[in-house]
Structures are given as structure tokens and as C-alpha cells.
Structure 1
Amino acid sequence: MNANKRNVTSYFQTLFSTFSSLPGFAAALNCTSPTPESLFAALETNVFSKKLLRPVKNFSSPVYITIDITVVGLVGVDEKAQTLTSVLWLVLEWDIEGLSWEEKECGSKRVSIPRDKLWIPDIHIAEFMDEDKFPKTPFVYLYNTGHVLDDKPIRVVTSCRLNIYTFPFDIQNCSLTFGSYLHFASDIRLLQGSTAEQILTESRDVLVTNGDWELIGIDVSFSTLALDLGSYSEIEFYVVLRRRPSLYVVNLLIPSCFLITVDLFSFMLPLDSVDRSSFKMTLILGYTVFLLIMNDLLPASGETTPLINVFFSINLALMVASLLETVIIVRIQHIFGKYRPMPRWVSVFVLQYLSAVVCLPRQTISTRSTFFINPSTREQTPSSSSISASRLDHVSDEAPPGKPSSLLEDPALQELRKLSRDLEAIRRQTDEHFQGNRNTQEWRMVGAVIDRLLFGAYILFIVVSFIVIIWIWSWSHAA
């Protein structure tokens, strides 16, 4: 009877030793006393010596890793390098199959274990671009149920496909793909810990560094990376960020709108004034200096051109076009008006049709003028004080009929003849002068019509451009 009992006991001991020698298997711990030394001695025998193996009973069973993250800080976004720098709390949880101990027997429900004493999954971020420079955490928690909690902060620089077309009202969606670098899905499978809403709420509560960005959403999805050798289990966290545009609106958009408004009001300056051209040139130089100073605030990316750069280019192009329009009108008035008579088609097309379009009525140009010999006679009637050129024509070198030829030798008559010739020359020069003034006035009217037409086109283009750009920004911001 005793021999049979010894045989049965020996059989069970052999069977127990056989199962204990299986890869990754851990039995219930027996502590000699409720002290840390006793617990660690039991862990050293049953757990620490098998840290090179996955904590499963057989190789066909996968280890289920639960992943949970919390966004602690948004350090920065580099548009040129297309990277996102963030600080995360990464929580990994898994179970060591078969491991357990009694809390009363061993004196503790959980214990901190050095990281290098346990098997740790090789979880990495697929978008990782730089070395993790955050301080390392050397310990993990091990519970009496065999549950392992690995909670550590990490500073990650990840690649992110940034779309800065709608800068500074852009919204970025950056992904963080967690997965095993070596183990296939048959060895390690990833599970989601908290829901996306819980992660977002906790992240907003603990977020301490965000800079220009605001965390507006977090999404979670599962995926499988299939390769020739096998498939990998992955879990993706999508971090949705929105840029705070107030800094860029105050420093970039509002000053640019002020300068373009001043250029718009420069059309009120007289056309024949030299100050108008110099004023517009000063505005262009000031706007160029403004863009050079604010160049550091603008994003630099070779993939897409931000809409705000197009906005600034349009403003600069409008200012240059306004200056060129002023130069052309000045040339029309001061060059063509002096040396070239106005063609008939220009007078009809511009002064009749375009002037009606821009609501600028054609002014009546008078060529009739009266000349006075003595300024004191201006208040007299024209019939008594003015000298008629037709009357001067009757003064000739021949004596009137019925008069003696001796009158030809009269000195007074000779002076009258000389005065007649001088007045005739003055009259002809005066007619030519006022004919030139008429051409000048007509060319000035053409310049005024063109200026009014381009002013209307200037306003229309600015309004349409602003509406389109604001609509694109609003649509993208709402999306």
C-alpha cells in the first residue's frame, strides 16, 4: 500500500516536472513567508529564468498585448520635414500564462520588476523617424494574477503627411501605427485598451504642451500588414490636430489687408500728380519688406503651395498692376496729349462707350476764346472792347477807293498796318495753342476713363479673390 502511494506520488512529481519544463510555462508560486525576499526567490526560479521565452504554455498560442496611449504634449510640427513631435504615455499590458500567487502567502498583490528580468514585447511605431530621447523607465508592474503592466512616457518624432494648403486654418491627421517589429500575428496580437472617446478626454485633461495646435480628435482602427513571410497585427491611432490661426491672422492677414486697402485708396490721388506713382512704389517696397520679415511665420513645404502664399502673391501682383496702370495713364496724358492727335476710333470707343460704362460723363471742351488788349476792358461788352480779327483783315497796304495816295505815306496808317500783321500772327499762334490744349484735354479724359475702368476691375478682382479664399478656408476649417 505504501509502495503504491510512493509510486503514485513519484508519477505526479514526474508529470509536474514535465509540464514545468514546457516553454514559457509558469506555475503558481509558493512563498515560504510573506516577505519580498521569499517572493523574489520564487519569481527567480519560475519566471526570471524563462525571460527569453514568450509567456505562453505552447508556441501555437499568441500573446495578447493591450495597447493604450495618452497624448501628453504636442511639441511641434515641422512642415518642411513633414514630421510631428509628440509626448505620449504608452501603456502595454499582457499576461504570463499560469503565473499566480496568493497575496496573503507572499505578502503583496503586485510588485515592481526590473524590465530586463521579464519578456518584453518588441512594440514599435511604424512612423518613427528619430530616436526616443525620453528618460527610460527601468521597472514594470507584475500582479499576482500574472498580469504585467508596462507604463512609460515616450517622446516620438513621427512622419506625418501634412496638408498645409489651407494654412493657417489647416487640420492635420497624423497616424501612429503600433505593431511588433519581428513577431507575426500568430505570436503577438494587439488589442485596444480604452475607447477613442476615453483617450481623447484623458489626453485633453493632461495635455500640457500644445503650442500652435489644438487636439480635436482621436480615432482607433485595427489593421493587418500582410507580407510574403507572414502577417503582422497592427493598431493605428489617428491624432487629429487643428492649428490656432489667431497669431497668423493678426501678424500676416490683417497687415496685408491694410496695405492693399491703402493701395486701393491711392486711386483717389490726381492722375497728373507725380506723388501718385511714388506713393504706389513706396507701398510695393513696404509690402515686400513686410513679406521678408514675416517669412519665418510662413510654412515651407515642397509638396503643396499654401493658399496664403497665393493670397500674398495676388496682393503684390495687384499693387504692381496698379503702379503700371498709373505709369501708362501718365504717359497717355503727358506724351500723347502733346504730340499726337487722338484717333477717331479712340474718341468714339473710349469717350462715348467706355465713359458710359464707368459712369463718367464726357466733358464739353470749348475752343472759343476772346482776347483783350487791355485787361481793364474785361468788364466791358465784347462788341465795344474786343478786337475782331475780321476787322483787322480790312487793313491793307492799298488805299481805300476815293482816297488820295498820300494817305499811304501817313505814319499812323503804317503803324496800323504793322499792328494788324502782328495781331494776325498772335491770333494764329493762339489758335494753334488752344488746338493743342484741346488734344491734351481729350487725352486726359481718356486717361480718366481708363483709370476709372481699372479701378472698378481692381475692386472686383479683390472682392472675388477675397471671397474665394475665405470660402476655401471656411470650407476646409468646417470639414
Structure 2
Amino acid sequence: MAALASSLIRQKREVREPGGSRPVSAQRRVCPRGTKSLCQKQLLILLSKVRLCGGRPARTDRGPEPQLKGIVTKLFCRQGFYLQANPDGSIQGTPEDTSSFTHFNLIPVGLRVVTIQSAKLGHYMAMNAEGLLYSSPHFTAECRFKECVFENYYVLYASALYRQRRSGRAWYLGLDKEGRVMKGNRVKKTKAAAHFVPKLLEGARGSEAEGRLREKLFSGYDSTVRPAREVGDRVWVSIGLTLAQLISLNEKDEEMSTKVYLDLEWTDYRLSWDPEEHEGIDSLRISAESVWLPDVVLLNNNDGNFDVALDINVVVSSDGSMRWQPPGIYRSSCSIQVTYFPFDWQNCTMVFSSYSYDSSEVSLQTGLSPEGQERQEVYIHEGTFIENGQWEIIHKPSRLIQPSVDPRGGGEGRREEVTFYLIIRRKPLFYLVNVIAPCILITLLAIFVFYLPPDAGEKMGLSIFALLTLTVFLLLLADKVPETSLSVPIIIKYLMFTMVLVTFSVILSVVVLNLHHRSPHTHQMPLWVRQIFIHKLPLYLGLKRPKPERDQMQEPPSIAPRDSPGSGWGRGTDEYFIRKPPNDFLFPKPNRFQPELSAPDLRRFIDGPNRAVGLPPELREVVSSISYIARQLQEQEDHDALKEDWQFVAMVVDRLFLWTFIIFTSVGTLVIFLDATYHLPPADPFP
């Protein structure tokens, strides 16, 4: 379009007279040197163009007529109307495209500037200073429109002369929803009212022979009649699919979005001719609205949009073969299997069928390759295909399916379907880095909770922190997977597994803390607990309890008593008691397990039947006090020893849970994720 406009501009420049680069009427006029203000003639011209009341007047000054023929088109508005110039000079929109008053010449008159001329009346479309459109019999400055392509590929036409004074916003040509012309200052470029599609006329774009051929082919042609020679004949339609981009796969909504090009081929015997009789014309490009279409739609669409995105032209060959390749962005339903998410693969389908005809009227088949062979797969052009960052296409077969009954349930005729399969595999790197790896690290934190000393205050806090973190991950993943009860994703299984482990770590940490803070005053240690958790398990868990300090210290040598030659306790014995009382009497060694085997009490020795020891009463009271102090010290030592036993049992249980959690976590992680490694797409999609 741009190249054609540039060539037309060059033709216009060649038509100009070589007298000068600018016409005389357009050259700037210079005021006399002695006059500092405007000259009188220019002042009169300026005053004549200004009105004291009302808006600005229309520009009626005539310019040179465009000397180019232009391009004959029909301007189709996005509101659903064709722009039409009526004989009475009014302009409006009409839904009919058969009127010759909808034909316009788009004549370039500058860089991206055109004038719109009625091909039937010869009048020019213009916009006055009030923003109203009118038909002008002469070319003026108000007949110039700036032509630009909007970001949605529609064309905008804005007045080249007028615009908003304050904001500078352009005034656009537009039609409302009822086909009436809108004021230019009321039309926004983002609205559908300003969006036009110039549809070229075949007869105007080609040669006269092509126009005659078109008139011959479409004289008496009815686009609603099926192109079958006999009533019982079937029309064979081949369906191909070219995948341009796999946009996304929404697991939660079970919806696949793709950008594709349909490739429909059939034969219409009514549109065939001999190229030799028509100057060698071998093919024509005709608008899709003018010919019969097989009415092929996507049955499993997910948004209710059955039509293609753009009705492009149909290529008609001289033998009557038709080829139509409309583009479209389809949102098809796809049943998601979430069992092995995110190590999963999905089998999504796109089912196409003729919605208006059954298999006795229209017979479908898969598309053909350039070599003429049947292509039973989705075609992907390596140079134009856009890769998806999350999914990898493994297989893309297609298959013709003949259902036994009408899938709509309304008729008895069978409707053939062509199903295109996209077997895609997920790229799990994103979930490995952002979900699975953090979960494993959090599980390790929960495991090393058991390595903290039982009296550490952070033991419970760390366990609860790990549990809350896994809960947040579970809530985030809930928005990614579909709300189905058929299966549980493997990553959710792993999260639940780790949450159970962390929950048990919290519970077992409470048990360990309970054991750690026990004492002889509150609990008595059973003998089996002492045998298992103090004498046996530490040997297997790598724990060795240090010996008490008194067992490590070597006792000083005993002092032999000096007895008198007489029998019994003599004076030498009394002196020995006074100088050095034996340790076995004052500080008997503890025997917590069999107290009856402990050393004899000193009081029992003094107050016993053997009263031959001659101690004065004062000394007896001293010895009794010393014995009481020794008993209290012994009881405190026994209390501390039993409390240390409970703390050692808690440490052994903590270490036992540590190794148990390491084993369970390792085995569970390997079992869960190794199962996903065997879930691979099939080597043959149709075994």
C-alpha cells in the first residue's frame, strides 16, 4: 500500500510543469519594504475571513484538482457499515456493499495525505470547521485527510486542516453504531467508530480482462448454494492447520490459547475458466463474503467465538479450486492431567467440523502437503514459529474422526471432524528453582531442629516457622492447578509430605522438651527406659556419656588405723576418729539403684549396739551434724544425677528423631520424584 502510494506521488510530480518547484499561487508574498505592518490588501483578505459571531467558516478556496486516478476501494467501518456518498451531497453508512455509491478513489495528495473522491459522483469528501462531513464538488483544503494505520491494523482518516485548539487532538472521520456520520471533534482514535478497512475492488485493481472475468464468474452466482454438481454429490474439503504460536496453557481454567492459520481447500466448479480466453489469468483473489464457504468452526472453543479473526480473500484458481487461509487466535478447552505436575505432559486437541453440513453434504479430510500427499500433522514453519517458554511440543498429529451420531444431539446425520493434537511437555525449570528447591531447604531446616539442644529457646520457633512457610507455598500452588478431585499433583503430594514431617517435628519437639524438664520430684524413671535410652541406644546413635568427675579422680591412699593391742575398740581407735574420720562413714559412695548396699550410716554406727566407742556428747552432736550435712549433699547429688539422666534421655530421643527424619525425608523425596521420571510422553502418539 505504501509502495503504491509512493509511486502515485512520483507520477504527480512528473505531471507538474517544470517551471518551478512551487506554483506561483502558493509562493509567499512579500510586503513592501517601507511598510512595517501588513499591507492593505492582505489586511482586507484577513478581515474577510474572520466572522465576528459564530464558528469558523468553511474553506471554500479551490485548489488544483488532483491529477492522479487513485485506488478504487470501499471503506468498511468497524461498526459494520460501508461509507456511502449520496447524490444529494450527504454522507452516511450503509450495511449493503452492492451500491456503487460506496466506491471511493483514495488519491494521494501528499506524504501520508489522501483525498477521498466518490467514484460514482466525482465529489470529494470534506470536513468543515465544525467537524461535519460533507460532499464537495471541488477539491479544497478541507478535502485533505491524513491516513495512518492504528496499532490494531485498522486505518484512521483525520482532517489535515482542523484539530482541537488546546489539546491539538486530531479530528477523525467516523460512523456511530447506527451508521450516521459523527462530528470529527467527537471521534476518538481508540474507538471503533474511527476504524476503517479499505477493501480493494477487484475490477479496479486489476486489468479490464480481470474485471470482465469477475463479472462473468459472478453473474448468477449464489454464495449460499453448496457447489455440488448433483444433489447427492459431496463437496470434499481438506483442512490443514499451521501453528504460528502456542500462546499459553491456563491450567486453572483448562484453556489453551494458540495463534494458527487455517488452510481450507475445496473445489467450486462454478468459478472455473480457461486462462487462454482471459489473457492468461490463472488465479483471482476474491473476498470471502462473495463465495461459498464450508462453514468450518472450532467445536471445542472455550470462549464462544466460532469465527476466524479476519476474513481474508479467497484464492480462486482457474480449475475451480479454492484456497482460504484465515488467521485466528483460538482458545480451546484442554483437559489437564495434574497428577505429575510440574513434570507433566498434556494432550490438547483442536476439533474442527462443518457446523452447517453433515457428512453426506460436506466430506472432510486432512490437509495436503506441497507434494500433494496427505499431511497428518500440524504444520509448523521453523522460521516464523514463536517458541513458548513453558511448554515444548513433542507430537502434533492430526486425525479424521467420524462420530456415530451428531455431537450436537439435534440431527441424525453424522458430522465428520478433523482433530489436531498437540502433545506438549512442561519445562519444569521454573518450578524446580522457585518451588521444589525451597521446599527441600525448608525440610532440611525442620530436620535440623532435632540437632538443637533441647533447652534452646529457638527449637519450637524454628519448627513453626518451617510449617508456616510450607503453608504459604501450598496456597501459592493452589492458584496454579485446576480445582479437580480426580488426582493430586505430585508437587502437592511432596508439600503435604513435608508438612506432615514438619508437623511431627513440632509434636516431637514438645515431647523432647517434656523429657528434658523432668525431675525426680515429678517423675520416676522406669528401669526399661534406663536400660534402652541410657545403656543401649547411645551406642548405636554415636552418643557417649562422659563419666562423673568423682569417678575420674583417684582416691587418696587409706591411712591404716592404729589399733591397741587389746581386743575391741581401744583408745587408738578414738584417736583415729578424732584425727581423720574415714570417708566410708562420713561420705558414703552413692548407690542409687540399691540403696540398701550403701556404706553404713555414721549415726547408726554411733547409736548402734557397739557403744564401746568413747566419744563425748559434744563430739557426738558434731558427728551427727556432719552426718546430716553429708546426707543432704548426697540427696542433692542424687537429685542432680537423676535430672541429668532425664536430660540425657531427651538428648538420645532427639538424636533418634534426627536420624529417623533424615531417612524418611530422603526415601520419601526419592520415591515421589523418581516416580515422575518414568512419566514420559509416548514415542508414538497413536500406538
TM-score, with structure 1 as normaliser: 0.79
Partner of residue 128 from structure 1, selected from 290, 294, 301 = 301
Q: Residues 255 and 331 of structure 2 are in contact (CA less than 8 Å); yes or no, is this contact kept in structure 1?
A: yes
Q: Structure 1's 434 and 453: CA in aligned 2 closer, same or farther, altered over 3 A? A: same
Q: Tell whether 2:663 aligns with 1:469.
A: no
Partner of residue 257 from structure 2, selected from 62, 80, 85 = 85
Q: Which runs of 5+ in 2 are unaligned?
A: 1-206, 406-410, 560-579, 587-599, 683-687
C-alpha distance in 2, partners of 1:449/1:67?
A: 73
Structure-2 residue corresponding to 1:39: 213
Structure-1 residue corresponding to 2:481: 299
Partner of residue 193 from structure 1, selected from 336, 344, 367 = 367
Structure-1 residue corresponding to 2:135: none
Partner of residue 239 from structure 1, selected from 401, 408, 422 = 422
Q: Residues 132 and 155 of structure 1 are in contact (CA less than 8 Å); yes or no, is this contact kept in structure 2?
A: no
Q: Tell whether 2:237 aligns with 1:65.
A: yes
| Secondary structure class of the residue paired with 2:445 | helix
C-alpha distance in 1, partners of 2:383/2:613?
A: 124
Q: Structure 1's 382 and 70: CA in aligned 2 closer, same or farther, altered over 3 A? A: farther
Q: Structure 1's 478 and 466: CA in aligned 2 closer, same or farther, altered over 3 A? A: farther
Query: Counterpart amino acid of 2:459?
Result: R
| Secondary structure class of the residue paired with 2:219 | helix
How big is the shift at 1:210?
A: 2.3
| Secondary structure class of the residue paired with 2:517 | helix
C-alpha distance in 2, partners of 1:398/1:353?
A: 45
| Secondary structure class of the residue paired with 1:141 | strand
| Secondary structure class of the residue paired with 1:477 | coil
RCO (CA 8 Å, sep 6+): is it higher in 1 or 2? 1
Structure-2 residue corresponding to 1:449: 652
| Secondary structure class of the residue paired with 2:663 | helix
How big is the shift at 1:252?
A: 0.7
Q: Tell whether 2:353 aligns with 1:175.
A: no
The 5 A counterparts of 1:134-153 are 135-153=309-327
How big is the shift at 1:436?
A: 2.2
| Secondary structure class of the residue paired with 2:402 | strand
Structure-2 residue corresponding to 1:327: 510
Query: Counterpart amino acid of 1:428?
Result: R
How big is the shift at 1:437?
A: 2.7
How big is the shift at 1:161?
A: 0.8
C-alpha distance in 2, partners of 1:379/1:475?
A: 69
Moved more, 427-436 or 204-213: 204-213
Partner of residue 437 from structure 2, selected from 254, 273, 280 = 254
Alignment: residue pair count: 429
How big is the shift at 1:57?
A: 0.7
Moved more, 358-367 or 112-121: 358-367
| Secondary structure class of the residue paired with 2:337 | coil
Q: Residues 337 and 444 of structure 1 are in contact (CA less than 8 Å); yes or no, is this contact kept in structure 2?
A: no
Q: Which runs of 5+ in 1 are unaligned?
A: 1-32, 372-377
How big is the shift at 1:113?
A: 0.9
C-alpha distance in 1, partners of 2:556/2:309?
A: 106
Q: Structure 1's 194 and 325: CA in aligned 2 closer, same or farther, altered over 3 A? A: farther
How big is the shift at 1:200?
A: 5.0
Q: Structure 1's 382 and 244: CA in aligned 2 closer, same or farther, altered over 3 A? A: farther
Q: Structure 1's 143 and 218: CA in aligned 2 closer, same or farther, altered over 3 A? A: same
Q: Residues 121 and 180 of structure 1 are in contact (CA less than 8 Å); yes or no, is this contact kept in structure 2?
A: yes
RMSD value, Cα: 3.3
| Secondary structure class of the residue paired with 1:449 | helix
| Secondary structure class of the residue paired with 1:335 | coil
Q: Structure 1's 385 and 370: CA in aligned 2 closer, same or farther, altered over 3 A? A: farther
TM-score, with structure 2 as normaliser: 0.57
C-alpha distance in 2, partners of 1:170/1:117?
A: 47
Q: Residues 204 and 215 of structure 1 are in contact (CA less than 8 Å); yes or no, is this contact kept in structure 2?
A: no
C-alpha distance in 2, partners of 1:71/1:128?
A: 16
How big is the shift at 1:315?
A: 1.4
Q: Structure 1's 265 and 401: CA in aligned 2 closer, same or farther, altered over 3 A? A: closer
Q: Structure 1's 286 and 128: CA in aligned 2 closer, same or farther, altered over 3 A? A: closer
Identity %: 24
Q: Which structure has the bigger radius of gyration?
A: 2
How big is the shift at 1:142?
A: 0.9
Q: Residues 267 and 321 of structure 2 are in contact (CA less than 8 Å); yes or no, is this contact kept in structure 1?
A: yes
How big is the shift at 1:132?
A: 5.5
C-alpha distance in 1, partners of 2:379/2:312?
A: 28
Q: Structure 1's 284 and 307: CA in aligned 2 closer, same or farther, altered over 3 A? A: same
Query: Counterpart amino acid of 1:174?
Result: C
Structure-1 residue corresponding to 2:623: 420
Structure-1 residue corresponding to 2:267: 95
Q: Structure 1's 329 and 143: CA in aligned 2 closer, same or farther, altered over 3 A? A: same
Identify, as 1 or 2, the structure richer in helix.
1
Structure-1 residue corresponding to 2:168: none
How big is the shift at 1:219?
A: 1.2
Structure-1 residue corresponding to 2:21: none
Query: Counterpart amino acid of 2:641?
Result: R
Partner of residue 291 from structure 2, selected from 97, 114, 118 = 118
